[in-house]
Amino acid sequence: MRAVASVLEEKQIRVDEPMSAHTSFRIGGPADLFLEPRKDQLSPLLAALKEAKVPLMILGNGSNLLVGDKGIRGAVIHIGNSMNQIRVSEDRIEAEAGALLVRVARQAQRAGLSGMESLSGIPGSLGGAIMMNAGAYGGTMADVLASVELLTEEGEIRNYSLEEMDFSYRHSRVRDEGGIVLSAILQLTRGDAGEIDAAMADLTRRRTARQPLEMASAGSAFKRPEGYFAGKLIQDAGLRGYRVGQAQVSEKHCGFVVNLGGASAAEVRQLMEDVRARVKEKFHVDLEPEVRFVGEF
């Protein structure tokens, strides 16, 4: 605590902060320390935490996480509103990691820049989307990135080109090496603002029709197994609506696990294990979680 107070102001530090308030699942026990640094404070903050041997994790918009019921020991560094600047210049956008993809996509549309349409409905931050190489409707982050600014675990700032980011399905080099995405430059193409708007509206309609957006979830619970769709396998295994406590395989889209209200992380985890076991038994396919499990269960 003392280590952190030498770098951050009091209003940037919260103690025992419930993670359920910061995850789209609305699940998760308290984080010992919940920190909201500015970009210029990150490097000294990492050094101070390292010196004090405090473990840390990075939080974006919390839309791909299942946080354990006992919470997170150590520090959660939230990359959100304190790092969310977006700048458009010609056919490029430079944005900080805490900017929400929805906002980046809207700014692109207003500037008549195409490329973000398919990603516009993903409820993550730019940093989280880069880390996960998020994608939807045929597009991924890797398709629009020119370069990424990263703070390494050693506290060095590095700029990586698209090729150096080592992107593949839901994977980037940040997943392997750690570090914090600070900002990125997106390379877009000139288009018609009206047409881009129409394309975004169409994808939003499709998403709303198929996905249980009205319920708390973390999106697709499992990765797409090679040659299959996770949702279809789960449905064909007879698990539509399957429940453990207040956690449920969505009735609307079997690829989603939803929190009916007050679900615990333990219930979601048990439900996901049951689903994996049933799909394995029936179809001999291994489902791998896309949702990231963090903290103590």
Ligand X SMILES: Cc1cc2nc3c(=O)[nH]c(=O)nc-3n(C[C@H](O)[C@H](O)[C@H](O)COP(=O)(O)OP(=O)(O)OC[C@H]3O[C@@H](n4cnc5c(N)ncnc54)[C@H](O)[C@@H]3O)c2cc1C
Residues taking part in catalysis: 170, 220, 290
By beta-carbon proximity to ligand X, the closer residue of 106 and 280 is: 106
If one asks whether residue 42 binds ligand X (CB under 6 A), the answer comes out as no
Q: Which of 132, 17, 114, 145 is nearest to 64 (CA)?
A: 132
Residue 103-122 contact track with ligand X, rule CB under 6 A, x = bound = -------------------x
If one asks whether residue 14 binds ligand X (CB under 6 A), the answer comes out as no
Stretch that binds ligand X, among 6-14, 160-168, 215-223, 267-275 (CB under 6 A): 215-223
By beta-carbon proximity to ligand X, the closer residue of 14 and 278 is: 14
SS3 category, 292: strand
CB atoms inside a 10 Å sphere around CB 176: 9
If one asks whether residue 142 binds ligand X (CB under 6 A), the answer comes out as no
If one asks whether residue 66 binds ligand X (CB under 6 A), the answer comes out as no
Task: Choose, by CB under 6 A, the member of 8, 142, 144, 180 that binds ligand X.
Answer: 180
Give DSSP secondary structure letters for 115-177: S-GGGTT--SBHHHHHHHT-EETTEEGGGTEEEEEEE-TTS-EEEEETGGG--BTTB-HHHHH
Q: Between β-strands 86-89 and 247-249, what pairing exists: parallel, antiparallel or unpaired? A: unpaired
Element containing residue 236 per DSSP (H, E): helix 230-236
By beta-carbon proximity to ligand X, the closer residue of 32 and 91 is: 32
If one asks whether residue 63 binds ligand X (CB under 6 A), the answer comes out as yes
Q: Which of 5, 183, 179, 201 is nearest to 85 (CA)?
A: 183
Task: State the amino acid at position 72 in one-letter form.
Answer: I
By beta-carbon proximity to ligand X, the closer residue of 244 and 257 is: 257
- Residues found near ligand X in the complex (CB under 6 A): 24, 57-65, 79, 97, 122-125, 127-129, 131-132, 134-136, 174, 180-181, 213, 217-219, 292
